């Protein structure tokens, strides 16, 4: 689809620049059902995603920006971007591999978050291929970048399928033992964005997980793998976001809402299986999440603070839900968590699918 005419009303020239010798641009994907997604190669960010409601009316269900300048200077650094090398937090920005301690930039309290202040969300990706329905990005993360060892080659593909799925495929290799934990930080507002964008309290959420990872006051997992049963963290059956989010429960109070990694129920490691579902009752829009990853960070946009996004839309606290498929936070410092180590000769592979629909 031409970028000159798109549902999002984004302008290509607003995303064209040169950063660190690389050109940035706007790209439009679409499918046969009328869905459309706008992305840029800066941070491999999703700028908009238009999905139909129960009446067939399309609206943008992604919190994003309408210019490169706004994206670069966003008050929420990772808004709907691709995250690496390490999604989520590493305690005190330190980890040890083969007896050597590595030190990362601290950018979230005492911890390193989402690959650091100049992680993959702040990098210009190369566009390897692009057609109407898919785009392939490549990024070479140099040895030592943000403190991580090894030259890591990353390929990431967005595909907008005719089944109304946003499919994300990741592949990475390294020339030195390192950590790789990639994710996408899409902020979903299934009611559609606006000024202000509605809260998500009535969103009905299901998460296919019997256990979650409790965190300390700085959002680092304590190491416990705790049952969700009998707590406000239990989404094994559908609950609205707002039903328990303000409960007097230390995990919710510390995080100002939901911001926790769920241990997904898996028959076998690496299987592509159902992870979560979200239903927005007024529009009837539904979102299902499938992933090969062991964990799913469920986040309710607790710190948006009414920031301004595309076309004057504003994004208050708790106006989006994020389902970040990933390995567990602080894995390199928790020996009993599934490893996020990538070795030379191995391939990191991940598939995550966000499938859109409407309530029957």
Confidence of residue 5 (pLDDT cuts 50, 70, 90): low
Token pair, residue 231, equals: 């707590």
Tell me: the pLDDT tens digits for 36-54?
999 999 999 999 999 999 9
Tell me: the pLDDT tens digits for 278-331?
999 999 999 999 999 999 999 999 999 999 999 999 999 999 999 999 999 999
Task: Report the distance separating Cα 293 and Cα 281, nearest Å.
Answer: 28
Contact predicate 290/60, CB 8 Å? no
CATH topology of domain 12-184: Beta-galactosidase; Chain A, domain 5 (2.70.98)
Please check the confidence at residue 1 and state whether its pLDDT lies above 70: no
3-state secondary structure string across the chain: CCCCCCCCCCCHHHHCEEECCEEECEEEEECCCCCEEEEECECCCEEEEEEECCCCCEEECECCCCCHHHHHCCCCCCCCCEECCECCEEHHHEEEECCEEEECCCCECCEEECCCCCCHHHCECEEEEECCCEEEEEEEECCCHHHCCCCEEEEEEEEECCCCEEEEEEEEEECCCEECECEECCCECCCCCCCCCCCCCCCEEEECEEEECCECCCCCECCCCEECCCCCCCCCCCEEHHHCCCCCCHHHHHHCCCEEEEEECCCCCCCCEEEEEEECCCCCEEEEEEECCCEEEEECCCCCCCEECHHHCEECCCCCEEEEEECCCCHHHCCCCCCCEECCCCCEEEEEEEEEEECC
Q: Which residue has the higher pLDDT, 108 or 360?
A: 108
DSSP 292: S
Helix or strand (DSSP H, E) at 290: strand 285-291
Task: Report the distance separating Cα 169 and Cα 263, nearest Å.
Answer: 21
Taken in order 15, 198, 354, 341, the sign of the CA dihedral is positive
Catalytic residue among 36, 288, 293, 324: 324
Tell me: the pLDDT tens digits for 79-112?
999 999 999 999 999 999 999 999 999 999 999 9
Task: Report the distance separating Cα 86 and Cα 183, nearest Å.
Answer: 8
Task: Report the distance separating Cα 91 and Cα 165, nearest Å.
Answer: 34
Q: How far from chain centre, in Å, is Cα 264?
A: 16
Q: For this structure, is 324 an active site residue?
A: yes
Q: For this structure, is 185 an active site residue?
A: yes
Where exactly are the structural domains of the chain? Answer: 12-184, 204-303+317-334
Confidence of residue 4 (pLDDT cuts 50, 70, 90): low
Tell me: the pLDDT tens digits for 198-239?
999 999 999 999 999 999 999 999 999 999 999 999 999 999
Catalytic residue among 65, 185, 208, 260: 185
pTM of the entire predicted model: 0.97
Q: Provide the 10 A C-beta neighbour count for residue 192.
A: 20
């Amino acid at each position: 689809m031409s970028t000159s005419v798109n549902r999002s009303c984004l302008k290509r020239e607003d995303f064209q620049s040169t950063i660190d010798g690389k050109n940035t641009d706007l790209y439009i994907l679409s499918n046969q059902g009328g869905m459309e997604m706008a992305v840029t190669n800066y941070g491999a960010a999703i700028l908009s995603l238009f999905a139909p409601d129960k009446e067939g009316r399309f609206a943008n269900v992604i919190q994003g920006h309408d210019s490169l300048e706004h994206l670069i200077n966003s008050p929420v650094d990772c808004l709907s971007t691709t995250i690496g090398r390490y999604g989520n937090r590493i305690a005190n920005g330190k980890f040890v591999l083969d007896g050597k301690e590595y030190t990362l930039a601290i950018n979230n309290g005492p911890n390193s978050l989402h690959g650091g202040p100049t992680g993959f969300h702040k990098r210009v990706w190369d566009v390897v291929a692009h057609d109407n329905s898919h785009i392939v990005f490549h990024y070479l993360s140099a040895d030592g970048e943000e403190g991580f060892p090894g030259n890591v080659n990353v390929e990431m593909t967005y595909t907008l399928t005719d089944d109304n799925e946003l499919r994300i495929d990741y592949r990475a290799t390294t020339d030195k033992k390192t950590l790789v934990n990639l994710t996408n930080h899409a902020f979903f507002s299934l009611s559609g964005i606006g000024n202000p964008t509605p809260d998500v309290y009535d969103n009905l959420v299901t998460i296919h997980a019997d256990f979650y990872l409790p965190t300390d006051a700085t959002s680092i997992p304590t190491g416990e793998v705790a049952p969700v049963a009998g707590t406000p963290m239990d989404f094994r059956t559908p609950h609205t976001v707002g039903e328990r989010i303000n409960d007097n429960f230390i995990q919710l109070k510390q995080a100002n809402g939901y911001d926790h990694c769920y241990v997904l129920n898996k028959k076998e490691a690496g299987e592509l299986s159902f992870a979560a579902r979200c239903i927005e009752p007024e529009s009837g829009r539904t979102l299902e999440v499938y992933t090969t990853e062991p964990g799913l960070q469920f986040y309710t946009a607790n710190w948006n603070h009414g920031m301004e996004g595309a076309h004057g839309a504003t994004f208050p606290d708790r106006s989006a839900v994020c389902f970040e498929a990933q390995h567990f936070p602080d894995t390199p410092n928790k020996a009993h968590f599934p490893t996020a180590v990538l070795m030379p000769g191995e391939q990191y592979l991940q598939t995550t699918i966000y499938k859109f629909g409407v309530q029957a």
